[in-house]
Amino acid sequence: MYSKEFQDSLKAVENAREANIGYELKRMTENEKNELLSAYHPDYKESEFSVLAIGPNKGERIPCELCEMLQGHSRISPEKINLDDIKYDTDVLIIGGGGAGAAAAIEADEAGADTLIVTKLRIGDSNTIMAEGGIQAADRPGDSPVAHFIDAFGGGHYAAKRELLSKLVCDAPAAIEWLNNLGVEFDKEPDGTMITVHGGGTSRKRMHAARDYTGTEIMRTLREEVLNRDIPVVDYTSAIELILDEMGRAAGAVLMNMETKELMVARAKTVIIATGGAGRMHYQGFPTSNHYGATADGLVLGYRAGARLLYADTLQYHPTGAAYPRQILGSLVTEKVRSLGAKLVNREGNVFIHPLETRDVAAAAIIRECADRGMGVSTGYGEAVWLDTPMIEIVGGDGTIEKRIPAMLRMFSRCGIDIRREPVLVYPTLHYQNGGLDINTDGMTTDVENLFAVGEVAGGIHGRNRLMGNSLIDIVVFGRTAGKTASERAKKVAPAHLTLSHVAKFERELNRAGIITDVVSPKLLPDYRRK
């Protein structure tokens, strides 16, 4: 039941609603945004960062929790692994069964390579299925890849690797067509035209969607295609270390059965890391919108094998994580809610930020509203602001919520909240890893030959902040490219001598740097047991 404070605040929001719908808050200037970010965005909280003492990014600042993982001990003693005892032998080994891994597998298979997916949970358990609001592609009249590039480059603070972003926006329309042909049920007008809306930071309506379960629908389709093609998938099996050949090229992985802990060797001619993000690291204590397995594994595997990270110090806090009630704390309240007309308002019912500012800016504005201005609503376990969802039905007409965002309606109605009539409480939630392994336009890591990284584990495509809908498109564009290239390269790789010497070398570096730790990595799963 709502407290007196809640009820007073709710009344204020209701009373201000009509006026707020017509109220157009100006967009912030570049300077205003920078000031806001440096004062309130978690990426700028210096006490939460450490400096790496070893490895390819030695000397760089990264989140303390990630630093611990990257400088942790291996799960294996390399000398105890018999690399001649090969359990799986394949051309292309794909680590991770989310959207990027599945897209890569389909293209590798299409190109004729023997392909194997290993995944520590089940195929489809991934952040892909957690993405709700949409997928971007400039394929409508009046839009262009150039406009898409400009929006994403600015939104990412001009830090994206231009060649990667350029590939993303140029290949996006074909990727949508590919998904459509595979059977993704995009929202369409009766004449078949795709319905598109704005997302934060977009200058054109280029967000395609399948209601508000876009990622789930895309994953459903990709998963079916993988299974229809009989591409082998080994579930509940994690990769815990990469294997290299004597030339330092990726050549397989040490796998671990998640239940029995049995260790196995997979030999491959090329390896694609598609392990996703890191929300379950709960950086700075934030809740997360991520799936259960998002624990930065791919960063650890790649880093130990010598692959450099790019922008590992920047994370995305989605502005609208559910803040109430507690059982859905941190769950995603899709940005599409704001695309459809809902505004963010404070405890007094005042609009304090343009609803479609980029995510980092909107998140920082919410944190400021709660931390500094005393304008948050106390939930009993934190502070939050309102997202005034009933505005959607006023702007779009009765039935809009049920038609366009049924998953949101269902999530809150299970908690006794009808978002058509009541606003919801939100606060930033850890949503996306902006940085990751440094790659080229083929999706291959810049430092380790024949090692590819696709999806959230890769860095540089979006710069230091990502726009909504650009990760669902990146998993398809770069997943497909990596699958094709990995398959081509696999044709030219002769079987070589396998080694884990990089793991032993990393352990020596830990010692030399005087790092004493009992952390073992990759983490694989979060630990929520009470200590």
Residues carrying an active site annotation? 318, 338
Dihedral over alpha carbons 65, 66, 69, 72 (to 10 degrees): -90
By CB under 6 A, name the one of 100, 103, 131, 387 that touches ligand MEZ.
131
By CB under 6 A, name the one of 78, 133, 277, 522 that touches ligand MEZ.
133
Which residues neighbour 113 within 8 Å (Cβ) at sequence distance 6 or greater?
91, 92, 486, 487, 490, 491
CA separation for the pair 274, 128 (Å, rounded):
11
By CB under 6 A, name the one of 99, 134, 276, 459 that touches ligand MEZ.
134
Concatenated DSSP letters for 500-523?
-HHHHHHHHHHHHTT-----BS--
What string marks each residue from 321 to 350 as x (binds ligand MEZ by CB under 6 A) or -? -----------x-xxx--------------
Smaller CB distance to ligand MEZ: residue 295 or 334?
334
Name the minimum Å distance from CB 310 to ligand MEZ: 19
Q: Tokens for 123, please give them.
A: 């195929």
User: Which range binds ligand MEZ by CB under 6 A, 117-125, 128-136, 268-276, 292-300?
Assistant: 128-136
Q: Tokens for 207, please give them.
A: 């967000």
What string marks each residue from 279 to 318 as x (binds ligand MEZ by CB under 6 A) or -? ----------------------------------------
Longest dimension (CA), the chain: 72
Q: By CB under 6 A, is residue 211 in contact with ligand MEZ?
A: no
Q: By CB under 6 A, is residue 132 in contact with ligand MEZ?
A: yes
Name the minimum Å distance from CB 290 to ligand MEZ: 11
What string marks each residue from 443 to 472 as x (binds ligand MEZ by CB under 6 A) or -? -------------------------xx-xx
CA separation for the pair 272, 117 (Å, rounded):
9
Name the minimum Å distance from CB 279 to ligand MEZ: 11
Q: Residue 68: in which H helix or E strand, if any? A: helix 64-70
Name the minimum Å distance from CB 241 to ligand MEZ: 30
Beta bridge partners of 364: none
Smaller CB distance to ligand MEZ: residue 91 or 132?
132
Q: Tokens for 266, please give them.
A: 């997979």
CA separation for the pair 176, 227 (Å, rounded):
21
The closest of 171, 295, 168, 248 to 445, measured between CA atoms, is: 248
User: Which range binds ligand MEZ by CB under 6 A, 125-133, 137-145, 395-403, 499-507?
Assistant: 125-133
| Residue found by looking up tokens 């195929």 in the block | 123
Q: Tokens for 68, please give them.
A: 């611990």
For 65, the 3-state DSSP assignment is helix
Name the minimum Å distance from CB 76 to ligand MEZ: 34
Binding site for ligand MEZ (CB under 6 A): 131-134, 332, 334-336, 468-469, 471-472
